[in-house]
């Protein structure tokens, strides 16, 4: 079974600074997707960024980028120019291959606080 581990229960960053959230996962599959989701107090789970395992290039979405190290099974999220609206719970998630049903396995989450 796949497992996803987020070793940082809480992180804090000053507004406009950069912060990196860590995630490691365990799988025997070669084809999979990885995601970072943001969950603000409103509870809505919002997709931040995704990475296909077969792509070596790290995904980037505006201020959000990932450092995907497939051999190390590491998938960190970097948030640049942090904004107050970035404060939320962040979850790393692994998606099983299509043949295994597109299930998401989530990590335990990292609470990000942004200081003005």
Partner 1 sequence: DAGVTQSPTHLIKTRGQQVTLRCSPKSGHDTVSWYQQALGQGPQFIFQYYEEEERQRGNFPDRFSGHQFPNYSSELNVNALLLGDSALYLCASSPRQVYEQYFGPGTRLTVT
Chain contacts with partner 1 (rule: CB under 8 A)? 4, 6, 33, 35, 37, 42-47, 50, 91, 93, 95, 98, 100-109
As measured in angstroms, the least distance from the Cβ of 78 to partner 1 is 20
Q: Which CB sits closer to partner 1, 16 or 98?
A: 98
**Residue 59 gets which letter from DSSP?**
P
Token pair for residue 100? Answer: 């295994």
As measured in angstroms, the least distance from the Cβ of 57 to partner 1 is 18
As measured in angstroms, the least distance from the Cβ of 43 to partner 1 is 5
As measured in angstroms, the least distance from the Cβ of 17 to partner 1 is 26
Q: Which CB sits closer to partner 1, 54 or 81?
A: 54
d(Cα 113, Cα 82) in Å, to the nearest integer? 10
Check: CB of residue 11 under 8 Å from CB of residue 110.
Answer: yes
Q: How many CB atoms lie within 10 A of CB 98?
A: 10
Q: Residue 37 forms beta bridges with which residues?
A: 47, 91
**How many residues are present in the chain?**
116
């Amino acid at each position: 079974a796949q497992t996803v581990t987020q070793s940082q229960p809480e992180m804090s960053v000053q507004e406009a600074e950069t912060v990196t959230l860590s995630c490691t996962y365990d799988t025997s599959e070669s084809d999979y997707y990885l995601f970072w989701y943001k969950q603000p107090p409103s509870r809505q789970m919002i997709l931040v960024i995704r990475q296909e395992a077969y792509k070596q290039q790290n995904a980037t979405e505006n201020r959000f980028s990932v450092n995907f190290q497939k051999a190390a099974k590491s998938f960190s999220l970097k948030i640049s120019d942090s904004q107050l609206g970035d404060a939320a719970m962040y979850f790393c998630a692994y998606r099983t291959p299509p043949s295994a049903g597109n299930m998401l396995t989530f990590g335990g989450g990292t609470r990000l606080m942004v200081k003005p």
